[in-house]
Structure 1
Amino acid sequence: MLYSIQELFKLIDQHKSSDEFYGKFTGGLGTDYYINRITRFNPEENRIICGFGEEIPLSGLDIEKKSISIKENEAILFLYNLHNEDFMIDRQRSINDILEFMYSTGGIQNEFWGDIGIIYKNQRKKCYVRTQSGNLVMKDDITKTKITDIKSAYRIELV
């Protein structure tokens, strides 16, 4: 599958329902918000494109060009830091690798993540977390308590 940067952020930025794990925290910031964060592009500035070392060389990035190639079984992992608005997008070998990360201490228990987004087969996967008895759990519920074995306490569903 081929994605442009713009297409990728449109998938990441889809509205989340309130019952999704990160439903209360992010989504709806807009594609322009993310692109501005990586390019620092400001349409009012005189300099639009530059390539001088310390200056911002991505200001003229072609956001519509299809250039991000993802293999059939690969998935995209989006991590958004709520405190400083940093984010990163990583290619993962499979959905299983993403689930392994999410169950780790750096995953859904990490209080700094405001969002973890998953793109798989050209769709944003909705993330639900349930207790073993089936009750929905939200981000606040998990980050308030530290659980040593999150996999035995919770079930992550990607729909």
Structure 2
Amino acid sequence: MIKLQNAPSQARAKTRMSGVGRVLVAVYGVLALAATGRSFVQIVSKFDEAPLAYALSALAAVVYIVATIALVRPGVVWYRVAWATIAFEFTGVIVVGALSVMMPGLFPHDTVWSGFGRGYLFIPLVVPVLGMWWLATHRPVPPVATGAV
């Protein structure tokens, strides 16, 4: 019977939560709270004024929540979830940012990603680039077969 060792994977994953990784998680946590609060207020009070913009703000909130959790959790699966959410976020910031600049009538009210995150000091544009760099340099080590019976 082949036994899998998880220790290297877990030890390596913990290093993601050091230095810049902690700052990254804190920024994602703040973005998650801000986007959640903003989208909740927008949807409850004036959804009919800009449903696309407010739905995108809610989507951004969900993405930030999942990214925050994925960055904190150890393991290969959470690492992949972090990559997926951060890549999705970056794509959203670029697409929504470009559309909001080229077709401002499409977004009568700002979203989190409008103007490439202008309302959030462009942090939504910068943080996924930092996140992708961090993930690329802090890959988890997959479990290793030991051959023990």
Q: If the TM-score is normalised by the length of the shorter chain, which range does it land in?
A: under 0.3
Greater Cα radius of gyration, structure 1 or 2? 2
Give the TM-score normalised by structure 1: 0.27
TM-score normalized by the length of structure 2? 0.28
Considering fraction of residues, name the structure with more strand.
1
Structure of greater relative contact order (alpha carbons < 8 Å, 6+ residues apart): 2
